């Protein structure tokens, strides 16, 4: 599994099209092609203010003119002498940048591979980013303007770096950047570690493959550049870890021992898994929080089936509305594609996300990115001629544009949960209606057993290896479980476009001190197929805020505001809108063991007997952002 997860994440850095037209993709051949047009300077050890040196490879045009820089910083291995996908792609990215008149600079985070120091998630970008920018800007081949670029782990450090107001950091293109967002608006995800206070398990599999063991080999600090280049041909500190069946490994309890149980590296996971959502340590590292300034023109890329589309979009809105500088606010642009994590260059005439065909979702990715950089790095922050927001609406399968997100003309429309108390399973009596339930409460009841959780089937996720298939899949088989409540509208008489943030309020009770409630948004086709669009979760103990824990009392009904979802989907005539409500979505989210304990250090859970209430007094509902005047 690890190799799958590692290669997926590394390939997410950015893949430029057009390289392999008849050309060899072997690293040695790719390097020879690059040598014809570029000055190559590898294993440059760039000094940080504390004396640590970061390993940096530089590819720049053969010219006496000063050029702008496209800078990518990463925890992944980009050794140009290593056979494999990422070695070739490093040269591909460098080739594309150099051909367009840019220096391409790629650097390992501190503590990764040839870079010195101790690694932590996101490293220390508030110092390392500033020192790297200053070093590059002072080189005699640099025009003093730097753009940062990357997806996933090469994007996530950029937002905190944008708070520095470094004069050389002139533009950025963050893609699939959710793990760099700490707190923004209602989202306290702390770098995708949490959703609604529940741990997102993707980082367990990811850290198995990425975190350093507390014992690791290092090159001596006085090693010369020549020695590092020579030795990089032989070895590069990249460990070969055994593959893991994460579909089984993630089931292990207690959660804090999952990596240990597969004989993985002993590192930072055991420390982070113990943090609560508002732990002070989340505010000491490289995460961006909404009380920080933001100073950089940005071109954001978000995916509908990524792990963090909602907080990503909330951050875009935050910067547009709250950045202190009007010029910065006016230079924020956004693309939302119907793809998986970092899949922006993988659209086709028949783009598939899991089992769902979303049509021809292709767009001119490379031209958009380099058009942005040309304006900001070559033309001194010139204006760009493109829509503020470019988003893809599934169902109608078309690109649309808007000045804002959500688009203008959206009305938040409540749909209420209704039943006679038997919404369990696809065959129950649960309905989703514009009308409130009556005065009498007919709560829907189910038992949630953390040792028999609802299995994640598809979803907005990445990096979990074989544990979850990302994307959209027919949910009907799963909906036969008695611990899933199913609420569905009547078939629509007219098509409805839902574009924006989806909010949900549930009135719940339980005989447990604490439990979770999950919500999933689904497009039901006339033939019965039920395709998931987004999902979310809320841990009840955090219903009053993530800075406190308030436990439940038996027999008491609590109002629960669910962490928002996002989508743009056209529910065509004859389709139905459905939501599922349950208490688990595993291993997408860690199971709540229902004890009221720490959860991370517990091996045994208890069954929670949970209820969802709906009546005039308890108006459980989902609020959909419906585009007005559209059919």
Q: Tell me the per-residue pLDDT of 439-460, one tens digit each, with 9 for 90 and over.
A: 999 999 999 999 999 999 999 9
Mean pLDDT of 506-523: 98
Count Cβ atoms below 10 Å from residue 420 Cβ, excluding itself: 13
Residues 36 and 103 in one domain: yes
pTM summary value? 0.94
Long-range contacts, stretch 527-532, CB < 8 angstroms, 24+ apart: 528/476, 529/474, 529/476, 530/426, 530/474, 530/475, 530/476, 530/479, 530/578, 531/355, 531/356, 531/472, 531/473, 531/474, 531/475, 532/457, 532/458, 532/459, 532/472, 532/473, 532/475
Residues 108 and 164 in one domain: yes
Same domain (yes/no): 579, 562: yes
Considering the domain architecture, whether residues 451 and 578 belong to the same structural domain is answered as: yes
Closest CA to 400 of 388, 391, 411, 409: 391
pLDDT mean over 566-580: 98
Length of the chain: 631
275 shares its domain with 385: yes
pLDDT of the residue at 63: 97
- The domain that holds 505 is classified in CATH as 2.60.120.260
Percent of the chain with pLDDT over 70: 94
Q: Does the pLDDT of residue 84 top 80, yes or no?
A: no
Give the per-residue pLDDT at 124: 79
Q: How confident is the model at residue 67 (pLDDT cuts 50, 70, 90)?
A: very high
Report whether pLDDT(260) > 50. Answer: yes
Closest to 191 measured CA to CA, from 125, 139, 100, 258: 125
Residue 194: pLDDT band (50, 70, 90) is very high
Tens digits of per-residue pLDDT, 110-167? 999 999 999 998 877 789 999 999 999 999 999 999 999 999 999 999 999 999 999 9
**Mean confidence (pLDDT) of the chain:** 93
Among 379, 402, 425, the domain boundary falls at 402
Show which of 351, 369, 402 is a domain's final residue: 402
Q: Give the three-state DSSP class for 629.
A: coil
> Is pLDDT of 1 > 60?
no
State the pLDDT at residue 13.
34
pLDDT at 437: 85
Mean pLDDT across 225-237: 92
Under DSSP, is residue 35 helix (H, G, I), strand (E, B) or coil?
helix
- Tell me, yes or no, whether 363 and 428 share the same domain: no
Higher per-residue pLDDT: 60 or 239:
60
Rounded Cα distance between 323 and 296, Å, is: 9
Same domain, 302 and 423: no
If residue 11 lies in a helix (H) or strand (E), which one and from where to where?
helix 2-11
Q: What is the pLDDT of residue 125?
A: 78
Average pLDDT over residues 397-422: 98
Q: Which of 95-104, 288-297, 375-384 has the lowest mean pLDDT?
A: 375-384
Pair type for strands 53-61 and 103-108: antiparallel
Q: What is the number of domains present in the chain?
A: 2
DSSP for 358-371, please give it. -------HHHHHHH
Q: What is the pLDDT of residue 88?
A: 75
In a shared domain, residues 216 and 314: yes
pLDDT computed for residue 16 by the predictor = 31
> Same structural domain for residues 358 and 423?
no
Q: Domain boundary residue among 367, 385, 402?
A: 402
Stretch (H or E) spanning 518: strand 516-524
Residue 309 corresponds to which tokens in the numbers above?
């589309």
pLDDT band for position 26 (50/70/90)?
Answer: low
User: What's the mean pLDDT in 176-190?
Assistant: 96
Instruction: Reduce the secondary structure of 181-249 to three states and give it as a string.
Output: EEEECCECCCCCCEECCEEECHHHHHHHHHCCCCCCCCCCCCCCHHHHHHHHCCCCCCCCCCCCCHHHH
Q: In the structure, what pLDDT confidence band is assigned to residue 24 with cuts at 50, 70 and 90?
A: very low
| One domain, residues 162 and 226 | yes
62 pLDDT more than 60: yes
Name 389's bridge partners.
Answer: 334, 402
- CATH for 19: 3.40.50.1820
pLDDT at 36 over 70: yes
Distance CA(443)–CA(378), nearest Å, equals 62
Same domain, 434 and 332: no
Q: 21 CB contacts (<8 Å, ≥6 apart)?
A: none
Please state the rounded mean pLDDT for residues 611-629: 95
Do residues 288 and 142 both lie within one domain? yes
Confidence at residue 80, expressed as pLDDT on a 0 to 100 scale = 79
Band of residue 85 on the pLDDT scale cut at 50, 70, 90: low
Q: Look at residue 551 and tell me whether its pLDDT is greater than 70.
A: yes
| pLDDT of 481 higher than 50 | yes
Report DSSP letters for 129-188, one per residue: HHHHHHHHHTSTTEEEEEEEEEEGGGTTTHHHHHTS--TTEEEEEEES-GGGEEEBTTB-
**What is the rounded distance in angstroms from the CA atom of residue 163 to the CA atom of residue 310?**
21
The better pLDDT of the pair 381, 334 is held by 334
Domain of residue 590 covers 410-627
SS3 content of the chain, % helix, strand, coil (to 5): 20, 30, 50
């Amino acid at each position: 599994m690890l190799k799958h997860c590692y290669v997926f994440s590394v390939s997410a850095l950015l893949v430029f099209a057009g390289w392999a037209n008849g050309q060899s993709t072997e690293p040695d051949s790719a390097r020879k092609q690059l040598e014809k047009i570029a000055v190559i300077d590898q294993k440059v050890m760039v000094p940080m203010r504390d004396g640590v040196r970061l390993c940096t490879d530089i590819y720049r045009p053969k010219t006496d003119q000063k050029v702008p820089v496209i800078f990518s910083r990463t925890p992944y291995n980009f050794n140009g002498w290593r056979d494999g996908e990422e070695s070739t792609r490093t040269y591909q990215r460098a080739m594309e940048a150099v051909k367009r008149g840019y220096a391409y600079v790629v650097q390992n985070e501190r503590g990764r591979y040839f870079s010195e120091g101790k690694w932590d998630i996101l490293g220390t970008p508030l110092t390392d980013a500033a020192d790297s920018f200053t070093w590059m800007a002072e080189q005699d081949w640099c025009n003093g303007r730097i753009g940062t670029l990357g997806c996933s782990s090469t994007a996530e450090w950029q937002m905190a770096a944008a708070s520095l107001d470094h004069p050389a950091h002139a533009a950025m293109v963050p893609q699939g950047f959710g793990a760099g967002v700490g707190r923004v608006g209602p989202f306290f995800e702390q770098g995708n570690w949490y959703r609604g206070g529940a741990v997102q398990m993707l980082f367990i599999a990811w850290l198995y493959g990425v975190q350093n063991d507390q014992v690791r080999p290092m090159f001596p600090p006085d090693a010369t550049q020549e020695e590092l280049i020579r030795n990089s041909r032989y070895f590069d500190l990249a460990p070969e870890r055994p593959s893991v069946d994460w579909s089984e490994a993630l089931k292990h309890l207690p959660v804090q021992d999952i990596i240990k149980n597969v004989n993985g590296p002993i590192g930072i996971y055991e420390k982070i898994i113990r943090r609560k959502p508002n732990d002070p340590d989340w505010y000491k590292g490289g995460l961006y929080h909404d009380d920080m300034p933001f100073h950089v023109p940005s071109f954001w890329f978000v995916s509908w089936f990524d792990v963090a589309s909602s907080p990503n979009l909330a951050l875009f809105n935050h910067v547009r509305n709250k950045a202190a500088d009007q010029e910065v606010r006016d230079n924020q642009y956004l693309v939302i594609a119907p793809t998986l994590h970092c899949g922006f260059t993988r659209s086709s005439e028949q783009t598939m996300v899991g089992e769902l065909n979303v049509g021809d979702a292709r767009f001119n990715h490379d031209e958009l990115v380099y058009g942005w950089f040309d304006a900001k790095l070559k033309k001194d922050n010139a204006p760009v001629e493109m829509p503020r927001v470019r988003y893809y609406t599934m169902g109608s399968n078309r690109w649309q544009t808007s000045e804002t997100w959500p688009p203008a003309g959206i009305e938040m429309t409540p749909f209420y949960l209704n039943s006679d108390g038997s919404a369990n399973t696809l065959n129950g009596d649960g309905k989703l209606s514009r009308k409130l339930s009556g005065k009498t409460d007919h709560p829907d009841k189910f038992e949630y057993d953390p040792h028999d959780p609802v299995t994640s089937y598809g979803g907005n996720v990445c990096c979990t290896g074989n544990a979850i298939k990302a994307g959209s899949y027919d949910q009907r088989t799963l909906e036969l479980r008695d611990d899933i409540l199913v609420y569905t509208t009547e078939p629509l008489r007219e098509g409805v476009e839902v574009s924006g943030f989806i909010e949900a309020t549930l009135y719940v009770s339980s005989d447990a001190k604490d439990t979770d409630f999950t919500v999933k948004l689904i497009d039901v086709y006339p033939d019965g197929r039920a395709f998931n669009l987004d999902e979310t979760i809320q841990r009840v103990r955090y219903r009053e805020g993530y800075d406190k824990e308030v436990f439940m009392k038996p027999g008491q009904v609590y109002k629960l505001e669910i962490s928002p979802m996002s989508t743009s989907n056209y529910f065509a005539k004859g389709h139905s809108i459905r939501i599922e409500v349950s208490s688990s979505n595993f291993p997408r989210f860690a199971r709540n063991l229902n004890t009221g304990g720490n959860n991370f250090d517990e091996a045994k859970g208890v069954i929670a007997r949970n209820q969802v209430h709906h009546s005039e007094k308890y108006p459980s509902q989902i609020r959909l952002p419906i585009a007005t005047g559209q059919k």
